[in-house]
Amino acid sequence: MTGIRKIEYNFLHWGPFVCHYKLLPEEIESFKSLESGEDYRDNLAGHIQNEKALDKTKVFNLLIPYLNSYVQGYYSYRAKHLASGFELLTAWVNRQVKNEFNPPHTHDGDLSFVVYTEIPDGLDEECRTSVANSPGPGCITFDFNMPFDSGRDKLFLQTHSHLPSVGDMFIFPAVLPHWVYPFKTTEGERVSISGNLKLKNIDKELLFHGEKKYDAKEK
C-alpha cells in the first residue's frame, strides 16, 4: 500500500495587503482620549453628521508600532521593502449612529487605517438577526474590485466583510474600495478613528498588485 504523496506548492503573493490587528486595552483608551477638533465632514464621503479632525501628531505616535508591524508583514508577504518612512496626512473620528453609513469610496495617500473605539450594545445581535443577502448592519466591507462572474468568482475572495468590535484595527492600501453598512435599530454610537498616510520611497504598484512593472528606461 502506497502512501499519499505530498505535493509541494508555492503560493503567489499578490493582491492588496490588508492587516487586521487587535489593540491592547491601554491603547484603546489612548485613542479614546484624543480630543476632537474642527468639523471634518466636507472632506469625507460618509453620510455621518459627527465627523471631526484629530491631532495628527498624537495619532501618529499611537500608530507607530502597528505601522512597523505592517511593513514587516509586507516584507514577509512580498519579500520586498515597502517604505523607509511615513507621513500622516489626515486623521479624524467618525461617530456613526443608526441610519448613517459610508458609501463605497477610496482614500487619499498610500495607506489608510481604521481603529474602532466604541461599538453600541446590541449591534452584534442586530447583525446576527438581519435578513439580507449582503453583510449585516454596521459591517465594513473591503472590495478587491475584480470583475464579477457568477460561478468563476467562487475561485477567489472578491470581498471581505467584518463586524468590528472594540479594539479592532485595519491597515490597508488607500486605493482599496470599502464601505460601511448602516444599522437600523441599535441605539448608541459606532466610533472609529481613521486616517491616511504617505509612504516615503514607495512604488505604488507594489502596494496594491505586488509586482513592479518593467520600465524600459530603467537600467
pLDDT of 31-40, one tens digit each? 999 999 999 9
pLDDT band at residue 1 using 50, 70 and 90 as cut-offs? low
* Structure-block grid coordinates of residue 66: 502597528
- The helix/strand/coil state of 100 is coil
- Residue 87 CA to residue 72 CA, distance in Å, equals 18
Residue 218 confidence (pLDDT): 30
Residue 208 confidence (pLDDT): 52
Residue 193 belongs to what H/E stretch?
A: strand 190-199
Q: What is the mean pLDDT of residues 164-182?
A: 95
Q: Does pLDDT of 159 surpass 90? A: no
Superfamily of domain 19-203 in the CATH hierarchy: q2cbj1_9rhob like domain (2.60.120.620)
**For the chain, how many residues are written?**
219
- Residue 202 CA to residue 94 CA, distance in Å, equals 29
Residue 210 confidence (pLDDT): 43
pLDDT band at residue 214 using 50, 70 and 90 as cut-offs? very low
The pLDDT > 70 percentage for the chain reads 85
Q: Does pLDDT of 129 surpass 80? A: yes
- Residue 27 CA to residue 31 CA, distance in Å, equals 6
List the domain boundaries for the chain.
19-203
- Cα 146–Cα 180–Cα 161 angle in degrees, nearest 5: 55
* Structure-block grid coordinates of residue 58: 498624537
pLDDT of 45-100, one tens digit each? 999 999 999 999 999 999 999 999 999 998 888 878 887 789 999 999 999 999 99
- Residue 80 CA to residue 83 CA, distance in Å, equals 9
Q: Can you give the pTM of this predicted structure?
A: 0.84
Residue 21 confidence (pLDDT): 97
Range in 24-28, 87-91, 107-111, 145-149 the model is least confident about: 145-149
Strand extents, DSSP E, 8-144: 19-22, 50-53, 86-96, 102-105, 111-118, 140-143
Identity of the residue numbered 137: P
Q: Does pLDDT of 206 surpass 90? A: no
